[in-house]
Structure 1
């Protein structure tokens, strides 16, 4: 029987809708898309991406996991011209064996942010 546990970090933004920051099912952690709405208007896509990754790191930590446990990531970006800058910051969080990933350009993201990232991690 699957066990389900809600994961919450006070060091990442609280959900803005009917969802949780993350849910652990058995040994798999599903982290909801993370954003950095406080930095979205700054125009600094690298700072925004760094904050998103730090939010993910805070959630992983509560689940007693780290970036080395991430097996899948999804990046949603408002302007694919920012791919290189996002990729540079994103890549700095994975020192070896980065996860599988897709990057998708979208018309709009919550709170008008420029990037949103979700991950799946395993113990």
Structure 2
């Protein structure tokens, strides 16, 4: 029987509700939507580019807690407050996935927690030490 493991790391912002930062089931790691909150200070950077960088840093930390990495992501979902920010978000996103990027959906939403501009979730394959 495959077990489900709740993931938690100080390297990413704490969940802002009753959910885990991520879970691992077998060799799959499911990272909850990562907000652009600096885990050390609780600050939210200005602008969609800086917020995308912080969300991806938080995402990487959660994935690492489950034995995965940005390179092992199979699928992401990006939630944007304003689709006019797509190009700016996409530029930063592309820096983190220079070759063989994962499948992705990007959707505009009416509002995100803490009134941030972007949130990113992912499903990845565990390949690291925790695999």
| Cα separation, 1, equivalents of 2:119 and 2:79 | 5
Question: What TM-score do you get using the length of structure 2 for normalisation?
Answer: 0.88
Structure 1 residue matching 2:29: 3-state secondary structure: strand
Question: What TM-score do you get using the length of structure 1 for normalisation?
Answer: 0.93
Name the counterpart of 2:54.
51
Name the counterpart of 2:25.
25
Selected match of 2:44 from 21, 39, 44:
39
| Cα separation, 1, equivalents of 2:25 and 2:59 | 17
2:74 matched to 1:71?
yes
Aligned length: 121
Give structure 2 stretches of 5+ with no counterpart. 38-42, 127-131
- Cα root mean square deviation, aligned: 1.1
- Shift >6 Å, 4+ stretches: none
- What does 1:1-123 align with in structure 2 at a 5 Å threshold? 1-37=1-37, 38-39=43-44, 42=46, 44-123=47-126
| Cα separation, 1, equivalents of 2:61 and 2:114 | 21
| Cα separation, 2, equivalents of 1:54 and 1:20 | 17
| Cα separation, 2, equivalents of 1:67 and 1:96 | 11
| Cα separation, 2, equivalents of 1:9 and 1:96 | 27
Kept in 1, the 8 Å contact 2:23–2:66? The answer is no
Shift of residue 60, structure 1, vs aligned partner:
1.4
